[in-house]
Amino acid sequence: MLPLQPHLQEGAEVSRYRVEELLARGGMGLVYRARDMRLDRLVALKVLTPQFSGDERFRERFVRESRLAAAVDHPHVIPIYEADDWNGLLYLAMRLVPGADLSAVLGARTRLDTATVLRVLAQTAAALDAAHDAGLVHRDVKPANLVMAGASAGSVPADVHVYLTDFGLTKRTSSVSGITATGQFLGTLHYAAPEQIRGEAVDRRTDLYALACVAYEMLAGDPPFARDGDAAVLWAQVYAPPPAVTPLRPDLPQAVDAVLARGLAKEPDARPGTCGEFVALLAGALHRTPARPTAGHAVPPAGGGPAVDPRPPHPSLPGERLPPGRAPSTVQPPPAPVPPPWPAGSTPGRRGAGRGRRRLLVAGTAALLAVAAVLALWRPWSGGPDLVDRTLVEGWTATVPEEWAPARVGGRAGFSVLAPRDWTAVFRSEAGRAEAAAAVEEDPDAVVGVYGEIAEGLDAPTPVALVGLVEPHLAAPVTLTPGEATRLAGRDAVAFTGTLSLDADRSLLLSGAVTTEEPRLLVVTFRPLAVADAWRPVVQRVLGSVRAA
């Protein structure tokens, strides 16, 4: 058996690959530029470190699930050519992408502009949602695993293409933890979700948490739970409340804090449903009017350098104070579980106080659940009789709440909207969007509905390009993120999520799909961000109900 070496020298051969140069070191292995001697092409060859190669259960799962990951065919998932066990070495052969990873870019630029942040996040979210739909969880989403073609440490092109790498380290959603048989933690602490750290079941929401950590870092310059020492980072990930980014970036709207807090929620159920939805919510928040800087906010110095944080450094014990200047109305994540004492051990009085806090949390949670139950019973769409079939566009029907009445726009660019009020003007004029913005303030449940159209002129060679054509076609300020292949009205389609900006402060969350064959059926549901979660089951049912009349 080949000895497990910390570093393969130039010219060393692993299976059919000849090593040319060491490209990067990571916690799970080394990445080399290598040449495939059989096909005479350059590849990125990742050779895993001995502690993983020595874990027999990990070895078997690595080869089996890497091959499953290789079957995820998505433009933003880096292609895996081969994954195997060769003479005791576990390796991955992947496409070699000229460019730089996000970690190198952040190391040189500290933080990124919001347009670049959204481009990187949207492409990464599409890759993750594709993997999740295939039943895989990445478990190690971090800047070093986001490779940007054509980028360098000092610049990111406007048309950057992002690849999510290391899909060979994925786990199927039926698996139960992030720990190997030998107790080795799989993942990177600064981006690891609480359930991953605790060794509990992982699923798509685990990757979403990591993506929210990456989003925070791109905006702030540091991960959300940066601490001195691994133990302090672990504690903070599990127990510390998500920090606000606006004290470090007063140029950003405070609504961004609420979206990041949802992505960083300690409980998986409190996070958005998909990575694409999280990015859509963040895009909507970023398009709002920024809060005016207040005392205690970090202010970028002249010359465009990094902002100076006026707060003292992180305390030595892993807790965190609320950032100064945070508005009381900022949405907070659900209450975190009461943390164990830090360091280990505390007085009986403290333990008693902890039990008291638990009782308060339990009582508060019970009250919230009771209110939620009442609201669930009160909402008019909860019962089956309140759902009716209506014509969405000529030849196609959908099942919608009874109060959603049809409104149509005729002509060559005709479309229809089913909603409690006539919201066709939202897709036609600034005045219509202003009216909807005012209505959102008074009654957000009235600004929900579904848009339908037999769309012309959407000829595109790929699903991603097709969604790109939908944005200008809607003739409104929308930002869309392509999703996965789906079915709409029994036909092949591509899904998407996004936002429609009503004004500087209010946006609608969009979920929809467009068929990939003629005639192209375009269906878009919309709802205000404030009630997005409450309406999610309804819009999902509406989208799933569209069918030929």
Q: Distance between CA atoms of 346 and 467, rounded to whole angstroms?
A: 56
543 to 227, 338, 349, 398, 491: CA distances (angstroms): 44, 40, 55, 8, 13
Q: Has residue 87 got a pLDDT over 80?
A: yes
Share of the chain above pLDDT 90, in %: 35
Q: Distance between CA atoms of 64 and 69, rounded to whole angstroms?
A: 9
Q: In the β-sheet with 405-409, what is the strand arrangement from edge to edge?
A: 405-409, 415-419, 449-455, 520-528, 507-515, 491-501, 478-488
Q: What is the average pLDDT across 169-191? A: 54
Q: Which of 64-78, 202-216, 228-242, 329-343 shows the lowest per-residue confidence on average (mean pLDDT)?
A: 329-343
**What is the reported pLDDT for 368?**
36
Task: Tell me the two tokens of residue 549.
Answer: 């009349």
Tens digits of residue pLDDT in 357-391? 333 333 443 443 443 343 333 343 344 337 899 99
Q: Has residue 3 got a pLDDT over 50?
A: no
> Which residue type sits at 326?
R
> Which residue type sits at 365?
T
Q: What is the average pLDDT across 483-501? A: 85
**Pairing verdict, β 478-488 and 491-501:** antiparallel
Confidence of residue 471 (pLDDT cuts 50, 70, 90): confident
Confidence of residue 78 (pLDDT cuts 50, 70, 90): confident
Q: What is the average pLDDT across 127-150? A: 89
Q: Has residue 132 got a pLDDT over 80?
A: yes
**What is the reported pLDDT for 90?**
84
pTM: 0.58
Calculate the average pLDDT of the chain: 76
The β-bridge partners of 481 are 497
**What is the reported pLDDT for 542?**
92
Q: Distance between CA atoms of 83 and 91, rounded to whole angstroms?
A: 6
47 to 6, 52, 81: CA distances (angstroms): 10, 10, 14
- Asked if 415 contacts 452 with a C-beta cutoff of 8 angstroms, the reply is yes
| 140 in active site | yes
**Pairing verdict, β 547-548 and 99-101:** unpaired
Neighbouring residues of 49: CB distance < 8 A, sequence distance ≥ 6: 27, 28, 29, 30
Asked if the bond preceding 519 is cis, omega within 30° of 0, the reply is yes
Q: What is the average pLDDT across 422-433? A: 91
Q: Is 410 left (phi over 0), alpha (psi -120 to 50) or beta?
A: beta
**What is the reported pLDDT for 507?**
84
Tens digits of residue pLDDT in 30-70? 889 999 999 999 999 988 876 666 667 777 767 766 776 67
Tens digits of residue pLDDT in 261-300? 999 999 999 999 999 999 999 998 998 655 443 333 333 3
Q: 16: number of CA atoms within 13 Å, CB side? A: 13
> Which residue type sits at 382?
S
Neighbouring residues of 342: CB distance < 8 A, sequence distance ≥ 6: 235, 317, 318, 319
**What is the reported pLDDT for 310?**
30
More confident residue, 247 or 136: 247
Compute the residue count for the chain.
549
**What is the reported pLDDT for 413?**
57
Active-site position among 55, 101, 129, 140:
140
Q: Has residue 506 got a pLDDT over 70?
A: yes
Q: Has residue 458 got a pLDDT over 70?
A: yes
Task: Tell me the two tokens of residue 287.
Answer: 């398009």
Q: Has residue 251 got a pLDDT over 90?
A: yes
**What is the reported pLDDT for 349?**
31
